[in-house]
Amino acid sequence: MPTNRELYFLLKKENNKYLPRSVIVSLLMDASDFSDSMNLYSNFDREVKDVERFYNNVADVKKGIPYQYVLGYSYFLGHKINVNKEVLIPRQETENLVVDVIVFMKKYFKEGDKPVVADICTGSGAIARAIKEEIKDAIVYATDISIDALEVAKTNVKDVTLLEGNLVDPIIDKGIKLDVLVCNPPYIEDETRIDEQVYKYEPHLALLAKPGTKYYEEIFKKANKIMNEHYLMAFEIEDNMEKPLINLMNKYLDGCTYRFHKDIYNKLRFLYIIK
Ligand SMILES: C[S@@+](CC[C@H](N)C(=O)[O-])C[C@H]1O[C@@H](n2cnc3c(N)ncnc32)[C@H](O)[C@@H]1O
C-alpha cells in the first residue's frame, strides 16, 4: 500500500488544475480519516488507510467536481459541515462575516442575555452553526426557501430552529423579533462573473439575483417588522453594490449607521447596519 508521502508527490507531479496542494492534502486526510492536517503530516510516511476511496475521489475531482462535494463535507470556522449539490459550499469570506458578528455580539451582549439571531438564506447552516457554537445563550433561527438545503442544514446544526420560506417571511409569520440578522443571499446579477466550476456545480438558486440587490431590498423593506429597537444586520455583498445599497438604506431604514468592510482580497464584501 502506498504511503501518504508517495501519493502526495505522485499527484503533485501531475500538475492537474483541479488538484492544487490544498486539495491533495484534503483528499489524503479524508482517506485516512484524519480530522486535521497535523495528523496527516505526522503520519506522512504511513500507508494510506483507504487507497480505493482516495483514488475514486481523485477521479471525481479530476472531472471538475468541487472536492467538497466529492468528500461530502467542508470546514467552516473549524466546524465540519456536510454539503451536497443542494447547498453552496461555505466560503472563507463568509467566515470573516461571521467572526465580525460574533465579536460584535460578545461586546454588546452579556453572558445570560439571550440574543435572538437569524441566519437568513442559511443553505448548509454553516453561519447558524458557528454562531450557536460561540454564543451558547443565543436563540438562533435559520431560514431558506429550499427544502433540500434545509435537509442538509438539519445535519449541521443543533439547537437552531430551521424555517422554510422566503427570506424573512417565516420570521414575520412566527412574530419573532431579532437582535441580530445575518444574511449571505444570492447576489450575482452577471452570470459571466461566476467561475466556470462554480456555475456548473453549485446551485444557481444560491448564486443568482436580478437585480443583484433584490434580496437586500426585500429585507430592508421588512426590517421594522422583524428587528428589535436596537439591532445589528450583517450582510455579505458584491463589490459593486455600495451605491445602490446606500440608496436602499436611505429609502427604507431610519436612524441607522452603516459600515462597508473589505474582505481579505481587498474587495468590498460586507455591510453592517447598526441601530
Ligand atoms: C449564497 S447562499 C448562502 C448559503 C450559506 N448561508 C452560506 O453563506 O454559505 C444563498 C442561499 O439562499 C437561499 N435562497 C435563495 N432564494 C431565497 C429566498 N427567496 N428566500 C430564502 N432563501 C433563499 C438558497 O437556497 C441558498 O441556500
pLDDT tens-digit map of 197-208? 999 999 999 999
Ligand 1 contact via 188 beta carbon (within 6 Å): no
Provide the CB-side half-sphere exposure for 160 (13 A, CA).
31
Q: What residue type is 111 in one-letter code?
A: E
- Residue 123: per-residue pLDDT: 98
* C-alpha cell of residue 192: 459571466
Ligand 1 contact via 96 beta carbon (within 6 Å): no
Ligand 1 contact via 125 beta carbon (within 6 Å): no
- Residue 120: per-residue pLDDT: 98
- Residue 206: per-residue pLDDT: 97
- Residue 45: per-residue pLDDT: 98
pTM assigned to the model: 0.97
Q: Measure CA 97 to chain center.
A: 9
Q: How far is the CA of 51 from the centre of ligand 1 (A)?
A: 36
Contact status, residue 111 vs residue 137, Cβ threshold 8 Å: yes
Note whether 129 and 254 are same-domain residues. yes
Index of the ligand 1 atom closest to the CA of residue 89 = 9
For residue 208, give every residue at least 6 positions away whose Cβ sits within 8 Å of its Cβ, in sequence order, or none. Answer: 186, 188, 189, 191
CA 71/CA 66 separation, integer angstroms: 9
Ligand 1 contact via 155 beta carbon (within 6 Å): no
Note whether 110 and 50 are same-domain residues. no
Note whether 32 and 152 are same-domain residues. no
- Which of 69, 88, 164 to mutate for ligand 1's pocket (most ligand atoms within 8 Å of CB)? 88
Note whether 105 and 206 are same-domain residues. yes
Cis? peptide before 90, omega within 30° of 0: no
Note whether 26 and 160 are same-domain residues. no
Note whether 165 and 42 are same-domain residues. no
Is 125 among the domain residues? yes
* C-alpha cell of residue 159: 439547537
Ligand 1 contact via 213 beta carbon (within 6 Å): no
- Residue 112: per-residue pLDDT: 87
Picking from 71, 96, 114, the residue at the C-terminal end of a domain is 71
Is 105 among the domain residues? yes
Tell me the average pLDDT across 141-151. 98
pLDDT digits (tens, 9 = 90+) for 107-125: 999 888 999 999 999 999 9
Q: How many domains does the chain have?
A: 2
- Which of 81, 117, 121 to mutate for ligand 1's pocket (most ligand atoms within 8 Å of CB)? 121
Tell me the average pLDDT across 214-236. 98
Tell me the average pLDDT across 34-57. 96
Tally the residues of the chain: 275
Q: How far is the CA of 186 from the centre of ligand 1 (A)?
A: 6
Index of the ligand 1 atom closest to the CA of residue 87 = 27
Q: How far is the CA of 101 from the centre of ligand 1 (A)?
A: 18
Domain that holds residue 129: 85-274
CATH number, position 264: 3.40.50.150
